[in-house]
Amino acid sequence: MPPHLSLGRLFFLSAGLVFLAPILVAQSPCNVTITLQQPPEPGSVTLSWANALPSGTYRLTSCAGTVSLGSGTTSRTIPFIPPDVACTWYIEVNDPVTGSWSGYGIGCTFQTVPHPPLRPIQPTLEPIDGSVGVSTSVVLSSPIEFWQAVGGQPWRTEYQISTNPDPSGASIIQGASGAQYSPTQNLQAGTTYYWRARGVNTGGAGPWSDVVSLSTASVPTTVNMKAFLQGPLDATTLKMNDALRTSGAILSSEPYSALGYSLNNSGANIGPLLLLTTGDNAIVDWVVIEARHGTTNEIIAQWAALVQRDGDVVMPNGSVPNLTFPMGQVKIGVRHRNHLGVMTATNRTANGTAIAADLTLTSTTIHGTEPTKTVSGRRALWAGDCNGDGIVSYTGSGNDRDNVLFRIGGTIPTNSVSGYHTEDVNLSGATQYTGSGNDRDIILSVIGGVVPTNLRVAQLP
């Protein structure tokens, strides 16, 4: 019998026994072209064959060298295969009679080619969408992971930027080759821009990013602002009392940082001579000027300020507010520690030209439904929010009336406590639960005066 057969191999052993080895046939990849994996993963190819030796010795020979195989093995992965390689491979079996290795089965050949360049993925842009207070010299960033450019192929950023919410009609600006950041843009102050970007490499242009908006900070703008607080307002004179000042109860430093406000001028102090001013310009109390996003109505800036008896709102040094807003189109509002805050319903343009925000006029549109109390034909902020939750309530859990009672001691309702307290709704310098000029009755009147379970809710979004 010849030692080689088409369907198997016979080994003649000294004992006269015959060992029949199964045919090992290379199967995959066989006579094909293989596209290697995308970097940074190394190129690798898995070879597989039919049958396996349950015992005995055999090995794999390929362009990556020769490796011994364990019993029952039917596949082997060859790592780090370079492109443009023609690789022939086959299984070798050790002849137990001669002790030599010989090619056995059918060998295979495959050709490796590099993966074609992938287009860059969709980038995520910076600054993030909706950013405000952005510098006019901002650098717009559209980072794309390096592996999107195969084999170190250079890539660039293309982007479009416009004041139109749909920037697709704007000119496509070319970024530097291989750069991750777009060139610096000379943007205008107080302007909202919309932009998008994409990466481009040898594989082509990737998908455009989502459109991202950013708003540059405005130029300093004078704000002529007025507001009345219902608690200390006299309906006859349309002037507020300045009892906190005259009693020495008013704080010399702003109280709002301690209440959780994020102020642009945190820690501001009253000008040293300001508390000596009398008449219409006498200081009533601290308030907060608030800027809201012109589109989303979100809070974007807050400043501690002072309100005078005639309603004028001034900065802590007594000057007319001259503010740099985080964007050019803003809604302007005012808050007080125990009154319900309000804001304009329409935008003001902060471009360096003085703007008006007279929140005492009924002709000024205010956001919300019945957002203010009307006193002798003028608007005033609703009083009585002693716990600062944005709701004036007379009964029930967390009501404001109980706060007044607790402040005076909770036992003798005729007690009166002097000082700078949020329960002092009329800003008289003393908190009272009963008697003339008490603070409890104001809370009841604000919720309607008849149904004690009614609520008065702030109309700020």
Give DSSP secondary structure letters for 89-143. Answer: EEEEEE-TTT--EEEEEEEEEEEEEPPPPPPPPPP--BSPTTEEEE-TTPPPB--
Does residue 14 have a pLDDT over 50? no
Let me know if residue 70 belongs to a domain.
yes
Of residues 119 and 231, more confidence is placed in 231
- Rounded to an integer, what distance in angstroms lies between the CA atom of residue 346 and that of residue 232? 28
Let me know if residue 408 belongs to a domain.
no
What are 139-152's pLDDT values in tens digits? 888 876 654 444 45
Band (17; pLDDT cuts 50, 70, 90): very low
What are 47-70's pLDDT values in tens digits? 998 876 666 678 888 988 899 888
Same domain for 18 and 99, yes or no, is yes
Same domain for 89 and 203, yes or no, is no
Residue-level pLDDT at 179: 61
Question: Whose CA is closest to 25, among 90, 93, 94?
Answer: 90
Same domain for 16 and 92, yes or no, is yes
Same domain for 191 and 299, yes or no, is no
Domain count, the chain: 3
Same domain for 107 and 195, yes or no, is no
Give DSSP secondary structure letters for 18-77. Answer: EEEEPP-EEEES-SEEEEPPPTTSPPEEEEEEE---SSS-EEEEETTEEEEE-TT--EEE
Residue 436, phi then psi, degrees to nearest 5: -65, 135
Same domain for 209 and 236, yes or no, is no
Same domain for 93 and 47, yes or no, is yes
| H-run or E-run covering 245 | helix 243-246
Q: Sort 390 into a burial class: Cβ within 10 Å, 0-12 / 13-18 / 19+.
A: middle
What are 221-237's pLDDT values in tens digits? 999 999 999 999 999 99
Mark which of 326, 353, 380 sits at the end of a domain: 353
Band (262; pLDDT cuts 50, 70, 90): very high
Q: Rounded mean pLDDT of the chain?
A: 88
Let me know if residue 400 belongs to a domain.
no
DSSP 302: E
Residue-level pLDDT at 59: 87
Q: Which domain holds residue 198?
A: 131-216
Same domain for 269 and 348, yes or no, is yes
Does residue 100 have a pLDDT over 60? yes
In the chain, what percentage of residues exceed pLDDT 70? 87
What type of residue sits at position 180?
Q
What are 274-322's pLDDT values in tens digits? 999 999 999 999 999 999 999 999 999 999 999 999 999 999 999 999 9
Question: Whose CA is closest to 119, among 208, 179, 207?
Answer: 207
Let me know if residue 174 belongs to a domain.
yes
Residue-level pLDDT at 327: 97
Residue-level pLDDT at 269: 98
Let me know if residue 423 belongs to a domain.
no
Residue-level pLDDT at 324: 97
Let me know if residue 154 belongs to a domain.
yes
Mark which of 172, 193, 216 sits at the end of a domain: 216
- The model's pTM is 0.76
What are 340-362's pLDDT values in tens digits? 999 999 999 999 999 999 999 99
- Rounded to an integer, what distance in angstroms lies between the CA atom of residue 261 and that of residue 277? 28
Question: Whose CA is closest to 301, among 270, 332, 337?
Answer: 332
Same domain for 21 and 139, yes or no, is no
Same domain for 69 and 92, yes or no, is yes
Residue-level pLDDT at 390: 98
Mark which of 185, 216, 247 sits at the end of a domain: 216
Q: Average the pLDDT over 416-435 and give the result.
A: 97
Q: What is the 3-state secondary structure (H, E, C) of 405-447?
A: HHHCCCCCCCCEEECCCCCCCCCCCEEECCCCCCCHHHHHHHC
Residue 283 pairs in a beta bridge with 308
Let me know if residue 256 belongs to a domain.
yes
What type of residue sits at position 222?
T
End-to-end CA distance of the chain: 97
Let me know if residue 457 belongs to a domain.
no
Same domain for 205 and 285, yes or no, is no
Band (73; pLDDT cuts 50, 70, 90): confident
* 17-20, long-range: CB < 8 A, 24+ apart: 19/96
State both tokens at 273.
Answer: 């001579």
What are 174-229's pLDDT values in tens digits? 876 666 666 667 899 999 999 999 888 777 888 999 999 999 999 999 999 999 99
What is the CA 429 to chain-centroid distance, rounded? 43
Residue-level pLDDT at 34: 85
For residue 97, give the CATH number of its domain. Answer: 2.60.40.10
Same domain for 100 and 135, yes or no, is no
Of residues 124 and 326, more confidence is placed in 326
C-alpha to C-alpha distances, 408 to 414, 418, 453, nearest whole angstrom: 8, 9, 23
